[in-house]
Structure 1
Amino acid sequence: MMSVRLARGIFKKIPIRNYSRAPCEIIEILESGFETLAQSKSQSLLKKHLTQEIFDKIKTRVTPSYCSTLLDCIQSGLCNHDSGVGIYAPDPEAYSTFAELFDPIIDDYHMGFKGADKHPATCFGYGSDFPNLDPEQRFIVSTRIRCARSIKDFPFNPCLTKKDYRHLECMINKVLKTLCNEHSGKFMALSCMEKEEQQQLIDDHLLFKEGDRFLQDANASRFWPTGRGIFINQNRTFIVWVNEEDHIRVISMEKGGDLGRAYERMIIGVESLAHSLKFSHDKRLGYLTFCPSNLGTTIRASVHIKLPNLGADKAKLEEVAKKHNLQVRGTSGEHSEAKDGVYDISNKRRLGLTEYQVVMEMHKGITALIDAECQAGSQK
């Protein structure tokens, strides 16, 4: 165990934030948390890759500009042993400062993205390149595609002050007001929204909500609801979340399986924002986000799809999904169960391939799942 005197010497330059513990406590908490995690049955990528050697090497580091510690990165994973990943980046510099831990986790999650690899340049392609996945509307209930962006020169949630949240909200809202045609709409700040209106938007699957324990334990819900808000277009098919998990989440939705149409709408929206806002970007990792699972293109394309026959054989469902790099979730997303045979299926890979390749992989994978569902139905 490191002595209190040594801990103070190493962390003496850290400004104590109002949510932080004393520097000498950070080492003690890390040591205790690491030991508990190592002895747990956790299947997280954090436990898998945080070896004693790496832990000892990086536990006293802080990021240059924002003074984030290793505890800021892994606190959520230490508190929640059922985490899938277990680590977040409190600021953009964390990815390089704690590279010995982030790199193998990124490689593992993004399936083969090695330390020397570089994310390719942005290439969206066109939504018209992707035919409707389910023109007869037999399987796909809805399609959603989103991408995340972080504003350059700002840290991520754990390091944002109340002033930062307000500044970001004002800056982003100003640009959202310039959107036109199909993308024009209205911004609503959570701090000015009635509880009933919030709940209705949540029930309609349009709005995020407070209370995610993984984000809370990562200090990503501070000063709630300050700075948080939602922008919705008139048709309720284009949405922008402000300061939820990332500074910006651009979301495009469509009833049925027209992935191409939803994708084209998202492209126009995010490129319109890029004309006025500068985003955090790394030459190797692409667009930088709070969670390493969203690096690179940051794109998550998903469908709610009826798979009652294939879903009856979970092993087969997972086999087909894994073959096409798809992630299977319950109807309400991560940590939920499928209702009436409806699953949330999304692409898993976001890093190391272009936006066009991400959506193409998703398109092919969903087509394969529909074929497998039909085969399972005929055999039954």
Structure 2
Amino acid sequence: MRFSTLLKNPADWMQGHGPHSEIVMTSRIRLARNLRGWSFPGWSSEKQRVELLNQVRPLLASLPELKDGFNEEYPSLTKTKKQVLVERHLVSREHAARSTGCAVVIDRKQSIAVMVNEEDHFRMQGIRAGLDLRTAHDLVNRIDSALEENLSYAFDTRLGYLTACPTNVGTGMRASVMLHLPALVLTEQIKQVMNAVSKIGLAVRGLYGEGTEALGNLFQVSNQHTLGETEQELISRIEGVAEHIVQAEIHAREKLLHENALMLHDQVGRAYATLRFSHILSSKEALTHLSLLRLGADLDIITDCDRSLLDMLLLEIQPAHLQLTAKRDLSVEERDSLRAENTRDRLKSVPEPLNVSSDNDADDSALPPESHDE
């Protein structure tokens, strides 16, 4: 599959509708695996990484799930193309910064991605829309099992799978959910919720993982350690926490609708106006306003709005996507201008937000006439 084909076809999870997909945008399972007898990528020579890649890449390409997918070594990809893969959450920022001896294999639906020679020899992930960690696990587990039948993994009967980072030793599994939590942010409850999540040993990260900001009111929640629990136990724990956060966000949305409707409509209306009529938009500003527009669509403040259009825009406004569309490198100013232009065009079909309704907005004609004493 060509890169242009990959870009043209939206991933299943970008336009899917899984459980709680109005709040849980994606579920992801990532497995870290290494081969016995080979140095970890960070300690191996370029020659060793190339040798390992040449050995495993044909095997990956032959698997039924990955056959006819996207399969490229990094030296053949430009910096912009690799950044597009980062923006689509198909590869890590660290992996995209590498070149010789590294590759990525992605299935045609962009639901499975395998990075070769990242921090570990294999970083394989399955992605699904909504709160659907078990299906994501099934996707990646099939790849893992097929590889283990043909390759000798670095495994210890006491410790489990051996990995470059000690926090991944054990199952080698990281389960994560991407949550859209604008109401918890607007009601200033988000810090309290995320502190509670951190206290039970889970990690809270931003849009692109560790060390990144929670742009667009998007937060990643995942396990921090993989030793001492089975894969199913880890999945159940993340599912339970995600369910609690979903309920907190639902209650926060209800509170906004019933107790602060005017502020909510104002926020959504301002976001709509900015996105529809701005001529300069930074990434951060666009993500913030798209988040509020998505909230407005979820709460029917904006009617007949296709939420998948907004989800696609969250990707299309990213810097590398814009540069690939323009077919050249763009300055920050050029990106901000093109981002605004594309957003104005894509949102033409989205109707204006509804006006706030209130029991206090009754028609004056319904009031009794004033008395005038002479």
- Do Structure 1 and Structure 2 share a fold, with TM-score over 0.5? yes
Letter in 2 for 1:194: T
State how far apart, in whole Å, the 2-side matches of 1:333 and 1:209 are: 9
Letter in 2 for 1:351: L
State how far apart, in whole Å, the 2-side matches of 1:350 and 1:186 are: 29
Match of residue 196 from structure 2? 320
Letter in 2 for 1:157: P
Deviation of the 1:192 alpha carbon: 2.1
Q: Is 2:183 the counterpart of 1:299? A: no
Aligned 1:275-290 pairs, distance under 5 A: 275-290=149-164
What SS does the aligned partner of 1:304 have?
strand
Aligned 1:47-66 pairs, distance under 5 A: none
Deviation of the 1:379 alpha carbon: 4.8
103, 116, 123: which one pairs with 1:242?
116
Match of residue 360 from structure 1? 236
Match of residue 198 from structure 1? 82
Cα 1:231–1:211 shift into 2, 3 Å: closer
Letter in 2 for 1:266: V
Work out which of the two has the higher radius of gyration on C-alpha atoms and give 1 or 2.
2
Contact 2:131 2:239 in 1 (8 A): no
Deviation of the 1:205 alpha carbon: 2.5
The percent of aligned pairs where both chains have the same amino acid is 30
Aligned 1:190-269 pairs, distance under 5 A: 190-210=74-94, 224-269=98-143
Match of residue 160 from structure 1? 44
State how far apart, in whole Å, the 2-side matches of 1:301 and 1:291 are: 16
Alignment size in residue pairs: 239
Cα 1:243–1:173 shift into 2, 3 Å: same
State how far apart, in whole Å, the 2-side matches of 1:291 and 1:174 are: 27
Letter in 2 for 1:297: T
Deviation of the 1:173 alpha carbon: 0.6
351, 355, 373: which one pairs with 2:227?
351
265, 272, 283: which one pairs with 2:146?
272
Match of residue 356 from structure 2? none
Contact 2:30 2:126 in 1 (8 A): yes
Aligned 1:82-161 pairs, distance under 5 A: 135-161=19-45
Letter in 2 for 1:207: V
Cα 1:288–1:335 shift into 2, 3 Å: same
Structure 1 residues 266-318: Cα deviation after superposition (integer angstroms, max 9, x where no partner): 11111111111111112222111111111111111111101223343344213
Cα 1:235–1:327 shift into 2, 3 Å: same
Cα 1:158–1:333 shift into 2, 3 Å: closer
State how far apart, in whole Å, the 1-side matches of 2:201 and 2:75 are: 39
Q: What runs of 5+ residues in structure 2 fail to find an aligned partner? A: 1-15, 257-374
Letter in 1 for 2:123: R
Q: What runs of 5+ residues in structure 1 fail to find an aligned partner? A: 1-131, 213-220
Structure 1 residues 172-192: Cα deviation after superposition (integer angstroms, max 9, x where no partner): 212202200466624210012
Structure 1 residues 63-116: Cα deviation after superposition (integer angstroms, max 9, x where no partner): xxxxxxxxxxxxxxxxxxxxxxxxxxxxxxxxxxxxxxxxxxxxxxxxxxxxxx
Deviation of the 1:326 alpha carbon: 2.2
Cα 1:299–1:183 shift into 2, 3 Å: farther
State how far apart, in whole Å, the 2-side matches of 1:339 and 1:192 are: 31
Cα 1:319–1:203 shift into 2, 3 Å: closer
State how far apart, in whole Å, the 2-side matches of 1:373 and 1:341 are: 12
What SS does the aligned partner of 2:150 have?
coil
Deviation of the 1:236 alpha carbon: 0.9
What SS does the aligned partner of 1:321 have?
helix
TM-score (norm: length of structure 1): 0.58
Aligned 1:172-191 pairs, distance under 5 A: 172-181=56-65, 185-191=69-75
Q: How much is the aligned-residue C-alpha RMSD, in angstroms?
A: 2.5
Deviation of the 1:250 alpha carbon: 0.7
State how far apart, in whole Å, the 2-side matches of 1:264 and 1:183 are: 17
